[in-house]
Structure 1
Amino acid sequence: MYHVVLGVDEDEEHARAAAGEITNLPGEGEGVEVTIVHVFQDNPSGASATQVASVRKAQELLEADGIEVDVTESSGDPADAIIETADEADSDLIVVGGRKRSPAGKALFGSVTQTVILNGGRPVMVTGVVDGE
């Protein structure tokens, strides 16, 4: 079984792009398992990850390709939660969506993707959306 941890925020286009890249991994979806992790920064209504549109979209796309999907949620620092989920699952790959940021923006505000790449301890695939999507 090839286990992928997919970090999904609220951005549906990033979720769609990441799910698409996972479905393009070698094989026909059989033998691939994906854990989608959504990290709440603020959740006063007590919503669950499966109520987030981007999570549902990624799950739908993956399951339509025959991929087994589990959804989990966390709160706090997104990078730490993604890495912790990958460690607990002993995943083979982490998939996260990249964002266009200037070097100064990364230095000032940090980057979930950068932290996952540097501290994840396993391969990381960074996906994005094409300009104009």
Structure 2
Amino acid sequence: MKSNEKAVILCVDDEVVILNSLKKQLKNAFGDTYGYEIAESADEAMEIIEEMNEDKKTILLIVSDWLMPGMKGDEFLIHVHQKFPYIITIMLTGQADEEAIQRAMEQANLYCCLYKPLNTEKLIKTIQSSLVNYE
């Protein structure tokens, strides 16, 4: 990673309102320390991840919703973990079943699952603690 390149936090959710809110909250909490990317689907997120990987940019952490059209969050995070095991994964859910959460923990090294409606403070603290462990 070049010194001027910021590691990126990627947020994935099919609801644009939530994505924009997440991005704003992360920027408020972490400022210019990281770059922020958003994706409205698992497919779009995979494209971003592949692109950034080709450009030798580091994705540090992914915050992904569980219930999305196409690919569910647990499947997506497992897929990401198989290719990029160093990326920290956090899943958000309003209604994930316990099996999906368990699967993500076992197969995607899920750091944490947070429940919607999202508590911003809890999300920020979770991200901070995951990054402390990362370094």
- What is the TM-score normalised by the length of structure 1? 0.44
- What is the TM-score normalised by the length of structure 2? 0.44
